[in-house]
Amino acid sequence: MPRQPISDIQRRALRQWFQHQYPQPRQRDCIFWFKEKFNHQITQSTVSEILSDRYLHLDQGIEPSKPTFRQRTANWPILEEILFNWQQNIERQGGLITGDILCEKAREIWCQIPQYKDIPSPEFSTGWLAGFKKRYNLYKL
């Protein structure tokens, strides 16, 4: 049987179902629920991964505009966390952030991170920006 991808929408549904059960269900109950709901057999390790902190961002209430299947990790997690927090702070204050502003701020922040001092600065291309926006669910930029 060929492997089938699991979308973020399906992951989110499993996480929400799991969090609203009392007492919390066992992983085999999650497997059974997922099979009934999506007609898709998953393994115990897949359940464990979906319920882990890796997919914590799915609990933030932001509905994905399209089904996403693959999650790529950041090459520069320290930079991206600082950049995301900065972006969120600016938007809470009513400011607007564009992709160009994010790339420029990323270049500025890069120079200030001690862990990256001996590493040449990335180009912060449109590809990097698209990945950053996808990782942090920033669809409005």
The dihedral over CA atoms of 105, 106, 110, 111, expressed in degrees to the nearest 10, equals -30
Answer yes or no: pTM beyond 0.75.
no
Q: What is the domain partition of the chain in residue ranges? A: 8-60, 77-135
Task: Please tell me if the domain spanning 8-60 has the same topology as the one spanning 77-135.
Answer: yes
> What's CA 88's distance to the chain center, in Å?
15
**Which tens digits make up the pLDDT trace of 49-107?**
999 988 888 887 666 555 565 666 778 888 988 998 999 898 889 888 899 999 999 99
Could you please state the CATH topology (level 3) that the domain comprising 8-60 is classified under.
Arc Repressor Mutant, subunit A (1.10.10)
Q: Which of 88, 19, 16, 4 shows the shortest CA–CA distance to 58? A: 16
**Which tens digits make up the pLDDT trace of 102-121?**
999 999 999 999 998 888 99
Cis peptide bond prior to 23, omega within 30° of 0: yes
Could you please state the CATH topology (level 3) that the domain comprising 77-135 is classified under.
Arc Repressor Mutant, subunit A (1.10.10)
